[in-house]
Amino acid sequence: MKTVHVDLGPRSYDVLIGRGLLDKTGALLQSKVGGPVAIISDNSVATLFAQRVEHQLVTLGLQPFRLTVPVGETSKSMEQMTGLLSQMAEKKVARSGTVIGLGGGVVGDLAGFVAASYLRGINFVQVPTTLLAMVDSSVGGKTGVNLPEGKNLVGAFYQPKIVIADLDTLKTLPANEFAAGMAEVIKYGAIKDKALFDRVASGVKPDDSDLDEIVEKCVAIKARIVEEDEFETKGQRALLNFGHTIGHAIEKATGYKTYLHGEAIALGMRAAAWLSVWQAGLPESEARQIEVALLTNHLPVTLKTEVDRAAILSALGNDKKVAADGQNRWVLLNKLGEAMSGHEVPIESVKKALAFLGVPVSSQK
């Protein structure tokens, strides 16, 4: 088992990474949480894993109960949030109680916001079961839900007590879900670690013997950034948004139904790579390396023709990262492994990047 410590003073916690951890949940949580324990999951993940976690909690003398939401991004809503809070109140969960987010990024974000809001904050544990959640959304304390106007517009910074990432759960993921997680892995390499980028550019599979090392490196990169800029006020944490400005806009423009989050981020990274060429001096050869890495890991690089480009441009104005002057600030690469935040990009360049997403890699000029 590998451990990455996130040092945030009184809010510090460990991220545990390994195989077979789900059946050690009881021992790993001992003395860290109290009951009752609400296990928040989606309908699919709950069927696969909830009973095993419940059994572990019972061995600690805790009283677990299960709350489920439908699978998918649409569950990150105020409606689901309100329903979960009401069920917590019906169960008379006290301030000593705990919320466990068992699932992917949607579940983790939603469960974390429930934990942050209920009784103004109770114990929270992340048990991510997707690659994307393990390397990204379960670490750093961002929780929240979407509004019709945009993604993640309501939420709170709320750190978990511990993160337990059992790599064996990834064996149950559909291939496209694993690939979606690889978008975030590629992002970490692109912004901070050229050696990591080179490794994952050749492709990663759930049963790779070095998957624990890959996940550990991603988590460590995020942990160090979060330690420096926990509340995203200094600019460092914004580096994690490489590819997310256009990616989030694509999700919003398609009603969160056309692309998985990681797939939209992959498209956003291709666009951001070419914006980096035009605006930040990234060598064209390195932008092409990013495209190849995405393709090798079975991620989309060409935007479907039916997606409304005007709707994407409109959605950019509702991104939660828009600056006070109403303009987007972009994360761009100077070179692979080195990123800078705060770039202003002319709208004509953004339109050019969107047009680029309509061109297959093999035929781009």
DSSP per-residue string spanning 156-203: EE---SEEEEEGGGGGGS-HHHHHHHHHHHHHHHHHH-HHHHHHHTT-
pLDDT at position 320: 54
Residue 343, beta-bridge partner list: 330
Domain with CATH 1.20.1090.10 in the chain: 175-363
Second CATH level (architecture) for the domain 2-172: 3-Layer(aba) Sandwich (3.40)
At residue 255, the 3 state secondary structure works out as coil
Calpha distance 362→272 (Å, rounded): 18
- For residue 300, what are the CA distances in angstroms to 40, 102, 180, 261, 287? 30, 27, 9, 12, 15
pLDDT at position 254: 96
At residue 363, the 3 state secondary structure works out as helix
Second CATH level (architecture) for the domain 175-363: Up-down Bundle (1.20)
pLDDT in tens, the chain (365 residues): 999 999 999 999 999 999 999 999 999 999 899 999 999 999 999 999 999 999 999 999 999 999 999 999 999 999 999 999 999 999 999 999 999 999 999 999 999 999 999 999 999 999 999 999 999 999 999 999 999 988 899 999 999 999 999 999 999 999 999 999 999 999 999 999 999 999 999 999 999 999 999 999 999 999 999 999 999 999 999 999 999 999 999 999 999 999 999 999 999 999 999 999 999 999 999 999 999 999 999 999 999 999 999 999 999 987 655 554 557 889 999 999 999 999 999 999 999 999 999 999 976 65
Element at 123 (helix H, strand E): strand 123-128
**Entry pTM:** 0.95
Domain with CATH 3.40.50.1970 in the chain: 2-172
Q: Are residues 218 and 185 in contact, defined by beta-carbon separation less than 8 angstroms?
A: yes
Q: At what angle do helices 284-296 and 261-280 cross, to 10 degrees?
A: 170
CA 94 to chain centre: 29
Look at strands 123-128 and 98-103 and give their pairing.
Answer: parallel
DSSP 214-232: HHHHHHHHHHHHHHH-TTS
CA 123 to chain centre: 21
